[in-house]
Amino acid sequence: MSSHETSRPRSAAALEPLWRHVVGDVLRRRRRAQGRTLQDVADVAGISMPYLSEVERGRKEASSEMLAAAAGALGLGLVDVLALAHGELARAARLRGPVSVAATTTLGAGGGAARGRGTMCLAA
């Protein structure tokens, strides 16, 4: 894996955290809050401990099946992970300041959060 795939972006335009970093942070914080080891959660989830570690560190983008398994092992549903990640992304957006005109046009006709409705649009 190249260093550019694993390191966090450094440009001013890329101050918004990547989804895999936010989700990994959510999972790691929940696991640590429960006082559980990576091995314990991985065993319950039915995934390898090295893979879960990579997901928590934001090095791997987990599939929905893997994410559901890890979340479930922590007593979370996918909606819980999404809600917690949304909170992190919203905090990051407040720290970044106003959205530029160029960024708002990338959201499409609905506009989402750029029009102040607090809506999050995710695309696969």
Q: How many CB atoms lie within 10 A of CB 4?
A: 7
C-alpha span between 21 and 25 (Å, rounded): 6
C-alpha span between 13 and 34 (Å, rounded): 35
User: What was the pLDDT predicted at 123?
Assistant: 54
Is residue 30 classed as helix, strand or coil in its secondary structure? helix
Residue reference for tokens 């879960």: 52
C-alpha span between 106 and 22 (Å, rounded): 21
Q: How many CA atoms lie within 13 A of 119 on its CB side?
A: 11
C-alpha span between 53 and 39 (Å, rounded): 9
| Tens-level pLDDT at each residue, the chain (124 residues) | 444 445 554 554 457 899 999 999 999 999 999 999 999 999 999 999 999 999 999 999 999 999 999 999 999 999 999 999 999 999 988 887 765 545 444 444 444 444 344 555 555 5
User: What was the pLDDT predicted at 92?
Assistant: 87
User: What was the pLDDT predicted at 105?
Assistant: 41
pTM for this model (two decimals): 0.69
Topology at the third CATH level for domain 3-115: 434 Repressor (Amino-terminal Domain) (1.10.260)
Q: What angle do CA 101, 107, 109 make, to 5 degrees?
A: 100
